[in-house]
Every structure is written in C-alpha cells, then in structure tokens.
Amino acid sequence: MAATLAKLRNLYFSKTSVTLFSQRLLSSTSSVQDSNEGWFSKLLVRRIEPTKESHSRLLSDKEIIYELQTHNVRADSSEKYLENYQQSVQLIDAHKLNYELVASWTVELGDLDQALHLWRYTGGFATIDNAKKTLAQNKDFVALQKERGKLLRSRHLQYLLAFSYWPPIEPRTGPNLYEMRSYNLKPGTMIEWGNNWARAINYRRNNDEAFAAFFSQIGRLYNVHHVWCYKDLQARKETREAAWRSPGWDECVAYTVPLIREMHSRILTPTSFSPTQ
C-alpha cells in the first residue's frame, strides 16, 4: 500500500512539473512573438478590414466604363484587318453614341499578331446597352464585323473600370511605345492592391509614364492592367531603374507581389488611327 501511494505521489509531481514547464514555455513563446511582431508583419501583406461596399465603388469614382478588345489576327491578314477596323471606328464615331476609341495598338513584343483596342463608354452600362442595340441594327457595321471575323484566330472582350488614384487618361503625342502589364490577382485581394498602388504611383510620376490603369468588371475577373508610355525601350529601362532607386518603391513591390497569381507584359505600338500616339 505504501509503495502504491509513493508511486501516485511521484506521478502527481511529475505531471505538475510538466504543466509548469509548459506554461513557462508558452509565456516565453508569447514574449518572443510579441517582440518579433513588428519585424514579421513587414513580411506580410497588410490586412484590409472587411467592407459592405463593392470593390468597384471603393476603387473607381466615375461612371465611365472601358472596353478592352483583344484580337488575335491571322498572320497573313494584318493589313486587311487594320483597314477593316479603322472603318468600324469611323462608323461608330459618326453615330455619336458616347462610345469613343481611347487607344488602338498592335503588339510589338509579347503576344505577336495581336491587336488591342481600348474604348470608353460615358454613362455606365446603360450607354453600353444603347450602343450595342444601335450598332446591331446598322447593316454596314454588321457587314464589317462579319468580314473581320474571317481575319481573326480568336478574340476576347473585357469591361473595365479605371483606378481612381491613377492620373487621368490623356492622349499622347508620338512617337511613343506603350507597355501593358497585366496581372491576375488572387480573389479577395483587389482592395489591398489598390491601397498599395495608391502609394506606389507616386514613385512613377517623374517622367509622366503612367498612361492608364484598370481592373476588370466583366470578362476575366481579378484582372488588372497597367499601361505605361515611354519614348522607347531605353527610356523604359532608365525610368524603371530610377523607380527602384526611390526609397519606398521596393516596399510597395514587396507588398503587392504576394497578391499576384500570374503576370505578363506586352510592348505596344499605336495604330495609325489611334487617338493616342
């Protein structure tokens, strides 16, 4: 009996020692975590509080919708395609539909045999509905569309909103080249992207290279396009290197990289009928 009681007493003290040690370990770990919280938090994307507002209302403050048409052209049909598209632009302009071409490019580096056309609707989706109905009843426009279909391999359409913190879109006098950097973001990260780039854009104003920036509403979602304007590739190189020398730019990049699933870049040349050159 005495031997049994001795064993139970030893077991009790053993468990008590383990418990006290565990408590001390947890307290020590908590202390280390607290001391390192500031350092560790710098490696993470900052947390954005949930909101009942839609992303579009928080990131864009205008009732202007942009349309990005991406056309993959048959390699032997580029000239015919551009002639056809220019006729369509002229026909749309004649109808005064609050639907205007902002920029028209062909890809010089990246996805070759591709054309990009950026349009602006003033007046929201009601303007889009009206323009589509009006043009669908125009025989000349429908004929141009059918002819153009034979010159394409594929096409894609997106409706976009402009980021409110980006400089206003202004036509440029050429010759220039443009770079479109497109990002596919992780779902739920658009607000974080906007918050970081609202600061980052301040590091990219020195050479007036910021042309436009959009996020998708319809089409491929969580898709962002930044469009930059440079005199040439050498100017692009020098401008980007100057940004990296600016204190704070590297931090903005560090915060946005974890938000990206995929990204790609295209160097663009304006078409002869593009409003921006």
Query: If you ran DSSP here, which 8-state letter would residue 242 be given?
Result: H
Give the span between the Cα atoms of 114 and 152, in whole angstroms: 9
Question: Is the model's pLDDT at 176 over the cut of 50?
Answer: yes
162 within domain boundaries: yes
178 within domain boundaries: yes
238 within domain boundaries: yes
Q: What's the whole-number average pLDDT of the chain? A: 84
212 within domain boundaries: yes
Q: Quote the pLDDT of residue 206.
A: 80
Q: Quote the pLDDT of residue 58.
A: 65
Q: Quote the pLDDT of residue 246.
A: 87
Confidence label for 36 from pLDDT (cuts 50, 70 and 90) = very low
CB 169 within 8 A of CB 223: no
CB 104 within 8 A of CB 274: yes
Q: Pick 175 or 55 by higher pLDDT.
A: 175
105-144 pLDDT, tens digit per residue, is 999 999 999 999 999 999 999 999 999 999 999 999 999 9
Q: Please report how many Cα atoms fall inside a 13 Å half-sphere around the Cα of residue 87, on the Cβ side.
A: 14
Residue 179 to residues 44, 63, 117, 264, 266, Cα–Cα distance (Å): 29, 26, 14, 10, 6
Range of the domain at 71: 64-270
Give the span between the Cα atoms of 158 and 162, in whole angstroms: 13
166 within domain boundaries: yes
25 within domain boundaries: no
Domains of the chain: total: 1
Q: Pick 249 or 147 by higher pLDDT.
A: 147
244 within domain boundaries: yes
Give the span between the Cα atoms of 133 and 97, in whole angstroms: 11
Domain of residue 94, CATH code? 3.30.70.100
Question: Is the model's pLDDT at 9 over the cut of 50?
Answer: no
204 within domain boundaries: yes
51-105 pLDDT, tens digit per residue, is 555 556 667 766 899 999 999 999 999 999 999 999 999 999 999 999 999 999 9
